[in-house]
């Protein structure tokens, strides 16, 4: 098969990006594949193009609604009509229509939580499925920086779906996470493609301050001097709102984004950002997946990321057009305490583990009462089916230690006295890449090339979008 002809005839591209052809060729041979391709390297093509050749349906397990919606929109934009996303936000009438015509769809996107529901699984069992895709596969690994317990159940449903060939895709994974993905997905002698994590067009800048006030003033200077579009990652929902309000007060178009917002509000902010009606988005790590904007010039971390993997994923959203882009990490003394507190909050507490073991499924009723958190319930429920309570307590303790190790690696990044690019590469067990111009703050950065002034923002009507933005950002 002439892969280049297939690519051109299908999508009009004349050449593959690095790694795409190797992965697609292995998929078309029927082999399980694990592909590690950095953000912006076109992972979606690795299942979209095989979909033009494989006879059955392609089921894509995707962790975020925004990510699903973006991928569905991209496929439809390229002329693919037989695509659908199954999620809890579907209207009842739309859901019934999809169930009645599910066999007509080639690409079926589904959240991991929906995949394991008996009704959904029953509908999928009736289909001829050629390929199951685990997108953002680091979510499968209990050590991954974005752990989702329902991803662990994917392997359980594979036999019910006829044991289809599996493709696991991720942008960032250490050797340990890679091994976890293979194990939990039960990949059979997989072909593994691992592209270097390094993005030579991104310059890494770390700045240190005595306190939070100094850091905030430095941030305001940065957003005033550097044109958007840019993303500012804040560690908490409250901080994302505070920073957005301060930037708005400077007369700069900005909005906040976090997981506690209504779905329609999150979609609204994404659309405004994509349409260049916002210069900056101040966000938690809930923002980014499914946001494919090629010319993001600057990603700023106002607070420390929880892991090197998460950091690389987030800064990788800059410079997808391969032009020079800047990743700035702002650090003030004491920031470590916040990140360690946040990552520990995600883990089940001993009393939550005991409640789930004592009450089983009835423990779910305690979520609304605030006695147990939903994520904790899902994690403990998974292990309850497999281990005695002592085993689960040990499992969570091991996970806590791993989270602490990840936090320590971020501290090492901040306080490293060497090349930042080198530190990131060895964190992924990869060889140190060549040092590009403007590599990092250790080697020196000519920041003038990033201070080209404001990017051209689209003028927007003062009507609906302005009222909506003011409702989101009362000041």
pLDDT tens digits along 82-112? 999 987 777 888 888 899 999 999 999 998 8
User: Are 192 and 315 in contact, with CB atoms under 8 Å apart?
Assistant: no
- Cβ-Cβ contacts under 8 Å for 100 (sequence gap 6 or more): none
Cα separation, 359 vs 340, whole angstroms: 30
What does pLDDT average to over the chain?
A: 87
Going by pLDDT thresholds of 50, 70 and 90, the confidence category of residue 292 is: confident
Going by pLDDT thresholds of 50, 70 and 90, the confidence category of residue 458 is: very low
Cα dist from 333 to 184, 208, 242, 306, 366, whole Å: 39, 8, 20, 16, 38
Beta bridge partners of 58: 107, 131
**pLDDT at residue 379, rounded to an integer:** 87
pLDDT tens digits along 294-335? 899 999 999 999 889 889 989 999 998 889 999 999 999 889
**pLDDT at residue 371, rounded to an integer:** 92
Task: Find the mean pLDDT for residues 428-435.
Answer: 86
Of 99 and 142, the structure prediction assigns the larger pLDDT to 99
Cα separation, 353 vs 392, whole angstroms: 8
The residue behind tokens 């685990």 is 134
Domain annotation for the chain: domains and CATH numbers: 3-194 (3.40.50.300), 202-338+410-472 (3.40.50.300)
User: Are 146 and 6 in contact, with CB atoms under 8 Å apart?
Assistant: no
SS3 content of the chain, % helix, strand, coil (to 5): 45, 15, 40
**pLDDT at residue 440, rounded to an integer:** 95
**pLDDT at residue 80, rounded to an integer:** 87
Neighbour count for residue 339 (Cβ, 10 Å): 20
- The token pair at 220 is 């305001």
| Percent over 90 (pLDDT), the chain | 52
* 196 pLDDT more than 90: no
**pLDDT at residue 89, rounded to an integer:** 73
pLDDT tens digits along 361-383? 899 999 989 899 988 898 899 89
**pLDDT at residue 451, rounded to an integer:** 64
30: helix, strand or coil: coil
Of 468 and 197, the structure prediction assigns the larger pLDDT to 197
Cα separation, 41 vs 17, whole angstroms: 7
* 472 pLDDT more than 80: no
Cα separation, 435 vs 422, whole angstroms: 9
| CB < 8 Å & 24+ apart, contacts of 380-385 | 380/348, 380/352, 380/353, 380/356, 381/149, 381/356, 382/149, 382/152, 382/153, 384/356, 384/357, 384/360
85 sits in which H/E element: strand 83-86
* 139 pLDDT more than 90: no
Q: What is the pTM of this model?
A: 0.82
């Amino acid at each position: 098969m002439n892969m280049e002809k297939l690519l051109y005839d299908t999508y009009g591209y004349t050449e593959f990006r690095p790694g795409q052809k190797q992965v697609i060729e292995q998929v078309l041979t029927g082999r399980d594949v694990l592909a590690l391709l950095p953000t912006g390297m076109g992972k979606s093509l690795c299942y979209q193009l095989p979909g033009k050749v494989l006879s059955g349906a392609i089921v894509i397990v995707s962790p975020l609604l925004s990510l699903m919606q973006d991928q569905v929109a991209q496929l439809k934009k390229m002329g693919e009509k037989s695509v659908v996303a199954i999620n809890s936000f579907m209207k009842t009438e739309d859901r019934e229509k999809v169930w009645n015509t599910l066999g007509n769809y080639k690409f079926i996107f589904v959240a991991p939580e929906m995949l394991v529901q008996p009704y959904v699984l029953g509908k999928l069992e009736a289909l001829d499925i050629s390929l199951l895709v685990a997108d953002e596969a680091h979510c499968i690994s209990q050590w991954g920086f974005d752990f989702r317990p329902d991803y662990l159940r994917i392997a359980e449903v594979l036999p019910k779906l006829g044991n289809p060939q599996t493709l696991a895709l991720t942008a960032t994974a250490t050797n340990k996470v890679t091994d976890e993905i293979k194990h939990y997905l039960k990949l059979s002698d997989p072909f593994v493609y691992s592209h270097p994590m390094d993005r030579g067009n991104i310059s890494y800048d770390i700045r240190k301050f005595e306190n939070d006030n100094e850091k905030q003033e430095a941030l305001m200077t940065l957003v005033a001097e550097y044109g958007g579009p840019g993303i500012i990652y804040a560690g908490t929902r409250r901080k994302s709102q505070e920073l957005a309000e301060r930037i708005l007060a400077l007369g700069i178009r900005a909005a906040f984004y976090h997981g506690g917002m209504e779905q329609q509000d999150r979609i609204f902010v994404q659309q405004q950002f994509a349409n260049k009606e916002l210069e900056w988005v101040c966000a938690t790590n809930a923002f980014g997946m499914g946001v494919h904007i090629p010319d993001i010039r600057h990603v700023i971390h106002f607070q420390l990321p929880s892991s090197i993997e998460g950091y690389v994923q987030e800064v990788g959203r800059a410079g997808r057009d391969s032009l020079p882009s800047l990743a700035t990490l702002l650090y003030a003394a004491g920031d470590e305490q916040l990140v360690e507190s946040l990552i520990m909050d995600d883990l089940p507490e001993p009393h939550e583990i005991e409640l789930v073991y004592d009450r089983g499924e009835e423990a779910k009723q305690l979520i609304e009462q605030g006695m147990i958190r939903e994520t904790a319930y899902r994690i403990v429920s998974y292990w309850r089916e497999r281990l005695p309570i002592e085993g689960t307590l040990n499992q969570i303790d091991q996970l806590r230690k791993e989270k602490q190790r990840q936090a320590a690696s971020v501290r090492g990044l901040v306080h490293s006295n060497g090349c930042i690019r080198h530190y990131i590469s060895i964190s992924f067990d990869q060889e140190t890449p060549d040092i590009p111009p403007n590599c990092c703050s250790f080697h020196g950065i000519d920041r003038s090339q990033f201070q080209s002034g404001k990017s051209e923002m689209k003028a927007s009507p003062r009507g609906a979008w302005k009222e909506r933005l003011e409702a989101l950002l009362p000041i």
